[in-house]
């Protein structure tokens, strides 16, 4: 029996138990006509953190070394980018064969890790080298490889300008976040509109962070200067009215609502059907009406356990106005920022914010990346959940 030590997630999560899949050697999973998934080796190989073969026969070692892919295990080896660890066990003569040793050297040169067999009594009742190493020893070496992989992920994250521990948690698994992002556009006529400077960067940062921490994420997206992150569901909504409708449709499925969009507060009462001409018009007076307040309505319609979080972009008396907003809109949390400060506000990659919560905490944060702020916001969600 060969065993694959795998974990389902794409991300390394050192505190989560690993999941072990065992595959009988003699079963041709992939190429069996009865197999409902004809590309199981591809699907399976994408989710592996470590491909561990225990015990490995001379045959499978030879296949791996030569790129032969005629069964499920050897095809998985070829299709996977995960680290590979092999713990061979075989008869001493087979082990010592130049062909076997050559294959092992080739695999080591390819970066495959080996847990060498030890001397002892073998299945064929002879005594010599070829006995499988103690399982505890194999597991401890496998965990070492996994922890090296974790360190590599952390290093890559730091180099990419993100916090080292990004992508290492799964603490929002089970949460479903619905987030409004970007600015809205309110039509004046088919050519012109009223809008604002929102880039969508803050909302997308929250979406990305939540996705990385295991949440299901849906963004209701207005006009943005950047693309939404991969792995989140995107619903487009250009005007405040469209955004309102999209949010109300999705709300029942959400456990957390985050209003990160800069929703236009007013829209033209009657958008013209045809382009407004300037001929004989020195002045143009637009009548505007209030748009529906999405955040307030979400708050009114909230179900038990749903958290409602808003942003307050202010230019003065930031915390005071944010607190008033939190009370008026009945929010669990509000993220207040002074958009006049350098490094905060629209279209920057950083922000300076104070997180206020319903229970009275007031966390004043220094200048940080929007992604780091997103993680701080998510940390506060977890604290509310814990309380």
What residues are annotated to the active site?
124
Among 104, 240, 318, 333, binds ligand CTP (CB under 6 A): 240
Least distance in angstroms from the C-beta of 344 to ligand CTP? 13
365, with CB counted inside 10 A (0-12, 13-18, 19+), is middle
Among 311, 356, 371, 380, binds ligand CTP (CB under 6 A): 311
Bridge partners, 51 (sequence order): 84
Among 312, 326, 372, 378, binds ligand CTP (CB under 6 A): 312
Tell me how far apart the alpha carbons of residues 26 and 252 are, in angstroms, rounded to a whole number.
48
313 binds ligand CTP (CB under 6 A): yes
DSSP codes, 39-104 = THHHHHHTT-S-EEEEEEPHHHHHHHHHT---SHHHHHHHH--S-EEEEE---HHHHH-HHHHHHH
Tell me how far apart the alpha carbons of residues 276 and 284 are, in angstroms, rounded to a whole number.
9
Rank residues 80 and 180 by Cβ distance to ligand CTP and give the closer one.
180
Tell me how far apart the alpha carbons of residues 349 and 92 are, in angstroms, rounded to a whole number.
61
180 binds ligand CTP (CB under 6 A): yes
Rank residues 153 and 209 by Cβ distance to ligand CTP and give the closer one.
209
Site string for ligand CTP, 125-164 (x = CB under 6 A): ----------------------------------------
Rank residues 88 and 203 by Cβ distance to ligand CTP and give the closer one.
203
Rank residues 60 and 295 by Cβ distance to ligand CTP and give the closer one.
295
Per CB under 6 A, which region of 31-39, 160-168, 261-269, 352-360 contacts ligand CTP? Answer: 261-269
261 binds ligand CTP (CB under 6 A): yes
182 binds ligand CTP (CB under 6 A): no
Least distance in angstroms from the C-beta of 329 to ligand CTP? 7
Rank residues 77 and 257 by Cβ distance to ligand CTP and give the closer one.
257
Q: Are 371 and 162 in contact (CB under 8 A)?
A: yes
Tell me how far apart the alpha carbons of residues 101 and 153 are, in angstroms, rounded to a whole number.
32
**286-292: long-range contacts at Cβ-Cβ below 8 A with a sequence spacing of 24 or more?**
286/188, 288/194, 290/265, 290/266, 291/184, 291/186, 291/239, 291/240, 291/241, 291/244, 291/263, 291/264, 291/265, 291/266, 291/267, 292/240, 292/241, 292/244
75 binds ligand CTP (CB under 6 A): no
Per CB under 6 A, which region of 107-115, 123-131, 193-201, 292-300 contacts ligand CTP? Answer: 292-300
Residues that bind ligand CTP in the complex, under the rule CB under 6 A: 180, 240, 259, 261, 263, 265, 291, 293-295, 310-313, 325
């Amino acid at each position: 029996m060969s065993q694959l030590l795998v974990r389902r997630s794409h991300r390394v999560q050192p505190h989560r138990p690993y999941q072990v899949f065992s595959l009988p050697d003699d079963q041709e999973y992939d190429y069996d006509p009865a197999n409902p998934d004809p590309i199981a080796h591809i699907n399976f190989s994408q989710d592996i953190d470590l491909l561990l073969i225990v015990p490995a026969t001379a045959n499978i070692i030879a296949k791996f070394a030569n790129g032969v892919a005629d069964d499920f295990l050897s095809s998985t080896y070829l299709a996977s980018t995960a680290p590979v660890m092999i713990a061979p066990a075989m008869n001493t003569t087979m082990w010592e064969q130049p062909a076997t040793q050559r294959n092992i050297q080739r695999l080591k040169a390819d970066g495959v890790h080996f847990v060498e067999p030890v001397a002892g009594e073998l299945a064929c009742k002879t005594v010599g080298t070829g006995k499988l190493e103690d399982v505890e020893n194999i597991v401890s070496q496998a965990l070492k490889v996994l922890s090296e992989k974790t360190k590599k992920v952390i290093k890559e994250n730091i180099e990419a300008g993100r916090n080292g521990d990004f992508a290492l948690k799964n603490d929002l698994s089970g949460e479903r976040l619905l987030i409004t992002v970007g600015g809205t556009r309110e039509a004046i006529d088919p050519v012109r509109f009223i809008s604002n400077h929102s880039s969508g960067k803050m909302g997308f940062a929250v979406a990305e962070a939540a996705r990385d921490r295991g949440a299901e994420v849906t963004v209701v997206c207005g006009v943005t200067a950047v693309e939404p992150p991969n792995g989140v569901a995107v619903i487009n909504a250009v005007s405040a009215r469209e955004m309102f409708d999209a949010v109300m449709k999705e709300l029942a499925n959400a456990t957390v609502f985050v209003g990160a969009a800069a929703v236009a507060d007013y829209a033209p009462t009657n958008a013209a059907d045809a382009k407004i001409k300037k001929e004989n018009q020195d002045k143009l007076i637009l009548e505007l009406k209030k748009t529906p307040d999405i955040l307030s309505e979400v708050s009114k319609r909230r179900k038990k356990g749903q958290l409602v979080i808003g942003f307050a972009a202010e230019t003065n008396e930031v915390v005071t106005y944010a607190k008033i907003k939190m009370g008026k809109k009945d929010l669990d949390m509000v993220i207040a920022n002074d958009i006049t400060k350098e490094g905060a506000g629209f279209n920057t990659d950083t922000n300076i914010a104070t997180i206020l919560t319903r229970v009275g905490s007031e966390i004043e944060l220094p200048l940080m990346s929007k992604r780091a702020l997103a993680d701080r916001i998510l940390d506060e969600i977890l604290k509310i959940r814990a309380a």
